Structure 1
């Protein structure tokens, strides 16, 4: 698998899974565009990409702004000419203290003998909670996909990989119904766009990860103690979370030529579903 001569954009590429995908693409010979709103993470990843000998353009971009996304693509085309690969990885995730409290309650509900009841997550949700996930997770995917297709359709060549989540396929993230809804929307959007543009030799697919050992999730694991970690591992037949590199290898495969996958949602999740 190689991406020699290809230009790849990875949104949310500064840290976690996005960083792992960015580095995998750099090793495969791509020219990288790393997009993030965390400038420190952006600088670190850009340095790591250049250390691998790959060309790299770093862009501070909030994908929830259509204007910012359009500006980023203009910068990319000015420097590299066009875009061949887009990874829509940027996302808002449930990581606030109140999100973690709901997650802990839900995991305990799933893994210990407790009376069945409503957990009260949706009825307690505010408008602000709901909308903040859609702005990045759905609108951002649309804005970036639209700009990418405007370059890919004329050249009749392109790969788009949308990072969804097991939350969009199952009830394992019932603690965050707003997050689950956005990732389900990404999966539906992937199928529709894939069918639309396949005739132009543009391959659109999604990855729906289960648990990933990112910095944020590892911090959460450290906060819940041994019992909490054991409860989580009980829900995964493989008994562990996936590593960013394990997911990045799939993102690399989907970005390369030589496969027949169109509109698919692939979920590496250790056997959870």
Structure 2
């Protein structure tokens, strides 16, 4: 049985990834900062952890090592745009928090998971960038685009270092995806604003959560054994 660690797995794309990997036979270890209000009936193993804090992450992976002795799959999904400020409005704290949430979280978990993957000479790591990591965005500031661009560089360097150990590292860069949080925001937009955004998406609609999850899960599979260091754009041709 493969052991899959999914960050942010209580909701959104990460939750869909966890459910699909579970159907594929994986044991799911779900990491999230707030697990108090979980209502789903599943057999995920939940750990309450702030993945931006390295000491918390290290403790959790020590527990995983004690119980399972390995990690096969790591999906780093934690991240978000925290504001839409223009460059001259961004405070130091905005910049630091955005990078902690979107980049340090992936670094902390990857660093902790790699030794447990190397033991078996097999692993799959998938990081979540964004269309904002490929070009500009209407949905965040310069700190967000910089952090998501950094995820791409982080992914490629890790791929280079870890490929000799049977560990593939890739990134998925989603476009506009209707998670519950985004859908609530989307429904508050005027029709004019929604149409302006949709005009930038040649496929003509936002992505579903499942469309993103299917791509991520493919990269976690045996079928993706020769894909390493790639950035998969799942954005309806919003960026090409």
- TM-score bin, normalised by smaller chain: over 0.9
Distance 2:139 2:236 in 1: 19
Distance 1:174 1:251 in 2: 22
Asked if the contact 1:14/1:44 (under 8 Å) is kept, the reply is no
- State the partner residue of 1:244: 209
Q: Superposition pairs for residues 104-123 of structure 1, below 5 Å?
A: 121-123=86-88
Q: Secondary structure of 1:123's match?
A: helix
> Which residue of 177, 180, 185 corresponds with 2:142?
177
Q: Secondary structure of 2:39's match?
A: helix
> Quick check: 1:11 aligned with 2:12?
no
Distance 2:89 2:27 in 1: 45
Q: Superposition pairs for residues 194-209 of structure 1, below 5 Å?
A: 194-209=159-174
TM normalised by structure 1 equals 0.84
> Quick check: 1:70 aligned with 2:58?
yes
Superposed CA deviations along residues 18-67 of structure 1, whole A, max 9, x for unmatched, are: 111111111111000011112245x235x2x33xxxxx210111001001
Asked if the contact 1:8/1:83 (under 8 Å) is kept, the reply is yes
> Which residue of 35, 43, 55 corresponds with 2:31?
35
Q: Superposition pairs for residues 100-179 of structure 1, below 5 Å?
A: 121-173=86-138, 175-179=140-144
Distance 1:93 1:125 in 2: 13
- State the partner residue of 1:253: 218
1:92 Cα deviation after fit: 3.2
TM normalised by structure 2 equals 0.95
- State the partner residue of 2:195: 230
List runs of 5+ in structure 1 lacking aligned partners: 51-55, 103-120
Q: Superposition pairs for residues 88-107 of structure 1, below 5 Å?
A: 88-94=76-82, 99=83
Asked if the contact 2:137/2:145 (under 8 Å) is kept, the reply is no
**Structure 1 runs (4+) greater than 3 angstroms displaced:** none
Which structure is higher in helix share?
Answer: 1
Distance 1:166 1:134 in 2: 16
Superposed CA deviations along residues 192-217 of structure 1, whole A, max 9, x for unmatched, are: 01011101110000000001110111
> Which has the higher Rg, Structure 1 or Structure 2?
1
1:229 Cα deviation after fit: 1.4
Asked if the contact 1:57/1:76 (under 8 Å) is kept, the reply is no
List runs of 5+ in structure 2 lacking aligned partners: none
Distance 2:76 2:151 in 1: 10
How well do the aligned residues superpose, as a CA RMSD in angstroms? 1.4
- State the partner residue of 1:44: 39
